[in-house]
Structure 1
């Protein structure tokens, strides 16, 4: 069992990063291909953003974040960006509870609720990358000022 747990420990970080990247890439591509469902949602919750152009910007950010996470580039910063994107989606619960049906969630509310887990994944990916970065930094030989 100890070997299995050690394997899971080594696999968890990269798997979470890549799966989060895949989800962002997929969602972003859907937003770029068919923005109208998101425009309708925004018109009921954040009407000042209810334009195809804003959904395209969102889609591009999600696609870029997905690609960068999968590639393992700028992970902490991209995870922070994705956290902001998920937090933006979750504001709909506060701004327009009628859309989500809170607390007895509508299908749209159930769909949006997944962003709580995705935000948690982004926080975990960000923390793991920051920890790895600090560990590598601590391993570097320190320059002495003599």
Structure 2
């Protein structure tokens, strides 16, 4: 009669697992990266559209309340320069507030995103006009003032609007989503 040896420790049951190789790790990372890319392609531009809209709603609504927006004097002066003095004062603030708020809401909803982009294009003319009309107020002592920084940050918003427009506008190529 043969005796069965007593177990000395844990013995693997079944076949041994295949060791993970460098090629497996690279393949898994590539698959994860591809999934992330697909997620970003699907959601990054809609997220940018909503974020851009939210920024314009937030800054637009401020202009409806006198004394709340730090750029009120600049808005009034810019409208005066652009309209040769026909529009200024509180009317300039209300018009700017309406344009920015409606454009922002259109972008957030996505339903009227093209209209929102057109309104933003018009707003960007006014937003960047102080660079031409009032450079002394925007730049001093070799650099931008706080007001100048406020105006210059709109370059990023313009770039964001261009990216959103690439997805929203109709035409040859990709369809709008």
Task: Specify the TM-score bucket, using the shorter chain as the normaliser.
Answer: 0.7 to 0.9
**Mapping for residues 1-146 of structure 1, pairs under 5 Å:** 1-34=33-66, 37-42=70-75, 45-47=78-80, 48=85, 49-101=87-139, 104-131=143-170, 135-136=174-175
Larger radius of gyration: 2
Alignment correspondent of 1:141: none
Number of paired residues? Answer: 137
User: What's the RMSD between the two structures over aligned residues?
Assistant: 2.5
Query: CA shift at 1:50, angstroms?
Result: 3.5
- Which structure has more relative contact order (CA 8 Å, sep 6+)? It is 1
TM norm structure 1: 0.80
Point out where structure 2 has 5 or more consecutive residues left out of the alignment: 1-32
Query: CA shift at 1:60, angstroms?
Result: 1.3
For residues 11-68 of structure 1, give each alpha carbon's deviation from its aligned partner in whole angstroms, at most 9, with x where no partner exists.
1111011001100110111011235643322455554344011111110121111111
Point out where structure 1 has 5 or more consecutive residues left out of the alignment: 138-146
TM norm structure 2: 0.68
Question: When you count helix as a share of all residues, which structure comes out higher?
Answer: 1
Q: Is the 8 A contact 2:139 2:148 kept in 1?
A: yes
Structure 1 segments, 4+ long, off by >2 Å, are 34-39, 42-50, 131-137
Query: CA shift at 1:133, angstroms?
Result: 8.7
Q: Is the 8 A contact 2:75 2:93 kept in 1?
A: no
**Using a 3 Å threshold, how does the CA distance of structure 1 residues 112 and 57 change in structure 2: closer, same or farther?**
same
